[in-house]
Amino acid sequence: MPYRVTFVCTGNICRSPMAEWIFRHHVEEEGLDVEVDSSGTGGWHAGDDADHRTVQTLRRNGYRSAHTARRFERDWFDGYDLIIALDEGHLRELASMAPDAESRDKIRLLREFDPDAGDDLDVPDPYYGGQSDFEHVRELIEAAVPGLLDEVRTALKER
């Protein structure tokens, strides 16, 4: 059974799909038995494609992109090994949805995996910004990927 990771942001059209495809790229490069997807805490974009600026940023930096937004559901906790929130608000909302302590223990902030992140662990929402904001989000995600890969490799060895 593959290790399952999901990324969660607000509407599932900017940050979480970007994190999904960047992390998926690295997982596939290493041939790890990991499934990667994403969702949002809100459902107003459910069924929509990723924001065109997310797609542009991914493609410009050598990543694939195919996405349909969806909302994270409370009964999904059992289906994931690791649930990655993109900011503190998502972390709190996911924790409030978690049915038990075991489920809450699966939730982590993405920037926890970046040793240079400091105290600011939020990935800012680029939606109301410009292309440079999307590039900044990509940089923050990429900085966390090595640490997240280490976490997943360790978990896979312990299985």
> Which residues are known catalytic residues?
9, 15, 125
DSSP bridge pairs for 5: 36, 82
Element (H, E) at 143: helix 131-157
Rounded to an integer, what is the distance from CA 14 to the centroid of its chain? 10
E-assigned strands of 82-127?
Answer: 82-85, 107-109
- Report the candidate in 57, 155, 44 with the shortest Cα–Cα distance to residue 106: 155
Phi, psi of 36, rounded to the nearest 5 degrees? -125, 135
Cα(13)–Cα(29) distance, integer angstroms? 24
Spatial contact of 57 and 122, defined as CB atoms under 8 Å apart = no
